[in-house]
Structure 1
Amino acid sequence: MEFSQHSRVWVYQADKKLTDQEAQQIQQELDNFTISWTAHNNQLKAKAEVRYNRFFILIVDESQAGASGCSIDKSVHFMKQLEQKFNINLFDRFNLAYREGEEIKSLPRQAFEELLKQGKINTETIVYNNMVQNVTELENKWEVPFKNSWHIQLFRDLVS
């Protein structure tokens, strides 16, 4: 199924890395959800994926039916069910993810700030911008160097 570059995107980040088994289970649940996801009784052209055993990405191509407030509420409710079932937190926007070598880690804002002060995270460190809005941004602005992300605004005083 082809999706437009303008398709809407929602990225949810787990506060910990999931096991391969958990990621597979969640992928199955995401697939089941997107197959039945509707807006005003219209089937949404949607898909979802688990990336890096940590991120859940929902994509809706609104060319045939747009995601409404009610359908977005359904997705949020579904994500909250996943949180409970898998004992994860998907809604902490200040749990910041970054890449360290081949590993993706996440930290609360204060701990992230400490690593920045220590120089263990710098302007070239890859971070994850989970506020991307569409497929184009997901492909080009999701995994970016710290210096090119919204994170730089938050920690401007710590970066030379």
Structure 2
Amino acid sequence: MQFSQNSRVWVYQSDKQLNDADVIKLQILLDNFTTGWTAHNNQLKAKAEIRYNRFIILIVDESQAGASGCSIDKSVRFMKDIEEQFGINLFDRFNLAYRSDEQILSVPRHTFEELISNKTIDANTIVFNNMVQNLTELENKWEVPFKDSWHIQLFSSLLAQ
């Protein structure tokens, strides 16, 4: 199934990495949700992906039917259920993810600040911009160097030290 580059995207980041068995179970739940996801009784052209055993990405191609407030609420409720079922937190926006060699790690804001201060995270460290809005941004602006991310606005004073 082809999706428009303008398709809406929601990125949910888990506070911990899921094991492979959980990823398989979760993908089945996500597939079931997206195939039944509707907005005002119109089937949404939607899919879900799990990346790096940590990120859940919902994608809706609104060229057929747009996601409405009610349909977005359904997805949020579904994600809350996923949190409970898998014992993870998907809604902590200050749980920040970054690359360390080939690993994807996530830490709370205060730990992220410490990692910048002790130079573990620098201007070229890859961070994840979970605020991307569409597929084009997901492909081009999701995994970016710290210096090119929204993170720099929040933590630039620490980087300069």
Task: State the TM-score, normalizing by the size of structure 1.
Answer: 0.99
- Stretches of structure 1 that go unaligned for 5 or more consecutive residues are none
* Letter in structure 1 aligned against 2:66: G
Q: Deviations over 1:58-116 (max 9, x none)?
A: 00000000000000000000000000000000000000000001100000000000010
Q: Deviations over 1:32-64 (max 9, x none)?
A: 000000000000000001000000000000000
Pairs aligned (count): 160
CA distance in 1, matches of 2:47, 2:143: 20
Q: Equivalences for 1:82-121 in 2 at 5 Å?
A: 82-121=82-121
CA distance in 1, matches of 2:27, 2:72: 19
CA distance in 2, matches of 1:80, 1:113: 28
- 1:158 to partner: Cα distance: 1.0
- 1:31 to partner: Cα distance: 0.4
How much is the aligned-residue C-alpha RMSD, in angstroms?
0.4
Q: Runs of at least 4 residues of structure 1 off by over 2 A?
A: none
| Residue in 1 that maps onto 2:47 | 47
- Stretches of structure 2 that go unaligned for 5 or more consecutive residues are none
Q: Equivalences for 1:7-156 in 2 at 5 Å?
A: 7-156=7-156
Task: State the TM-score, normalizing by the size of structure 2.
Answer: 0.99
Secondary structure of the 1:112 match is: helix
- 1:156 to partner: Cα distance: 1.4
* Letter in structure 2 aligned against 1:73: D
- 1:159 to partner: Cα distance: 1.7
